[in-house]
Structure 1
Amino acid sequence: MPSTALDSAPWRATWDEVMTGFVPGLPSLEDVIACAARDPRRILDLGGGPGVFAERLAARWPSAQVTMIDIDPVLLALARDGVPPAVSVLEADLCDALPAGFDLITAVMTVHYLRPERIRALYRRCRQALTLGGLLVIADLMPDDGLPSVMDALNPAPGEAAAELAWAQWWGEVAEAPEFAQLMADRADIFRHRPPANFAGSVSWHVAAARSAGFREAGVVWRDGRHAALVAV
């Protein structure tokens, strides 16, 4: 628990600004998801962070049950303090079994933290967690197959240097805030042996992984620079 009272609103707002700096086209992604998913009754957001995206999903579909999961204690505390009652916040590892019965599963800027074999396993678990005809939406670093190498996708694109700085500054300010002292210590324990993979699989890699997991159809429906969204049915 935070050591002092937590006011999540400013932290969640600046988080949203940082994420938009990395991926300016995120609002258009939400519109694409809305067109593809139509009227989901149950939604699962993977690696939901402070719950900003899950909150938007709940606002778009007020009658839906929205669940978000994450493992980061700092981000979970912000989500639990800030999301509306329509959003359930669960602490869970993406490498563990997922709850089932969802019409829509989303993961925005999440899977690049995982190694390739864990992404493949996650796709299989997502297929098992979806209802018949349900959709999986993965939005992340996903270069075109024409790029010379995957490493090109990891190099910051023009204009992203400011976003990288803002990201580091956000976490620096969190580390200095007394209300996060214990949570930051817990976070260090969790991620000490979990270095981020920084994996940026190509479009064809993600399509093949989704189809290998048993999805009938898979393809890219949205792109914003180095980032793209795969939809699997």
Structure 2
Amino acid sequence: MPSTALDPTGHRAAWNSVMTGYLPGLADLEQVITTAAERRTGPPARILDLGGGPGLFAERLATRWPAARITVADLDPVLLALARAALPTTVTTVETDLTDPSWPATTGTGYHLVTAVMTVHYLNPAAIRSLYAEIRRILAPGGLLVVADVMPDDGLPALMTALEAPPGQAWSHWWSQLASAPEFAPLMDRRTEIFRSRPPAEFTPALSWHAAAARAAGFPEAGALWRHGRHAALAAC
């Protein structure tokens, strides 16, 4: 069903609420990312958001940098349909399987900023290492990679990590709302087929693991950009 038949407003607003619960400090993270990108190269001309879902972060980036050409890459047809129905023409969406090493063929190269927010925990260690190597190849000179996900620090107090239990009920409710909407039925069926044999890896190593993997992929610099409890952001350039 064409994305023009979808009304994305309420679903995208609800997704934003769910993601804010999953990733405490989301607004601060986004501010840190944009500030880091501007300090490095000025307003980025080309941006790639991997696992960008319904495109809320991309939309905010487009508002901050109207001249930027932004690409949202995701494998989920439901989330991509919501993105296509709402995003401005400066944002392109592509269906991309990050476990396939040829994925850059769908996105192109020459990006000044590549982001992956709550995306890499779906991948196993080998796939993450391959992903970082491919990102290194598609970055423009001076470009920046930011990966934000669950990256626990063994030194965190147990209470802090306990307070960040993922709101699974809100997540389930959001998907059940879509499943009950007839206009989403074909997309939900396709999503079921895609993910039937793709259980999430739920691989969540420490930030130091990600930094080492990024350096092994050819990034001269890799380290912490942001932290909020169990969640952290890696910057590599």
Sort the TM-score into its range (normalised by shorter chain): over 0.9
TM-score, normalising length from structure 1?
0.92
Match of 2:29 in 1: 29
Q: What pairs up with 1:6-25 in 2 under 5 angstroms? A: 6-25=6-25
Letter in 1 for 2:234: L
State the secondary structure of the residue aligned to 2:85. Answer: helix
Query: In 2, Cα distance between the equivalents of 1:201 and 1:35?
Result: 26
Q: CA deviation at 1:157?
A: 3.3
Query: In 1, Cα distance between the equivalents of 2:162 and 2:16?
Result: 19
State the secondary structure of the residue aligned to 2:98. Answer: coil
Match of 2:236 in 1: 232
Q: CA deviation at 1:71?
A: 0.9
State the secondary structure of the residue aligned to 1:82. Answer: coil
Q: CA deviation at 1:146?
A: 3.7
Match of 2:177 in 1: 173
Letter in 1 for 2:103: A
Query: In 1, Cα distance between the equivalents of 2:179 and 2:165?
Result: 23
Q: Contact 2:164/2:230 (CA < 8 Å) preserved in 1?
A: no
Structure 1 stretches of at least 4 aligned residues deviating more than 6 Å after TM superposition: none
Q: What pairs up with 1:43-192 in 2 under 5 angstroms? A: 43-95=47-99, 96-98=102-104, 99-146=108-155, 157-158=162-163, 160=165, 163-192=167-196
TM-score, normalising length from structure 2?
0.91
State the secondary structure of the residue aligned to 1:28. Answer: helix
Query: In 1, Cα distance between the equivalents of 2:63 and 2:162?
Result: 31
- Name the CA shift for 1:32/1:185 in 2 (closer, same or farther; >3 Å): same
Q: CA deviation at 1:5?
A: 2.7
Gaps of 5+ in 2: none
State the secondary structure of the residue aligned to 1:188. Answer: helix
> How many residues are paired up?
227
Gaps of 5+ in 1: none
- Name the CA shift for 1:134/1:188 in 2 (closer, same or farther; >3 Å): same
- Name the CA shift for 1:142/1:218 in 2 (closer, same or farther; >3 Å): same
Across the aligned residues of Structure 1 and Structure 2, the Cα RMSD in angstroms comes to: 2.0
Residues 103-112 or 25-34, more deviating:
25-34
Letter in 2 for 1:86: T
Residues 92-101 or 103-112, more deviating:
92-101
Q: Contact 1:104/1:130 (CA < 8 Å) preserved in 2?
A: yes
- Name the CA shift for 1:3/1:70 in 2 (closer, same or farther; >3 Å): closer
Query: In 2, Cα distance between the equivalents of 1:181 and 1:72?
Result: 14
State the secondary structure of the residue aligned to 1:229. Answer: strand
Identical-pair percentage: 60
Q: CA deviation at 1:4?
A: 9.3
State the secondary structure of the residue aligned to 1:214. Answer: coil
Q: CA deviation at 1:24?
A: 2.6
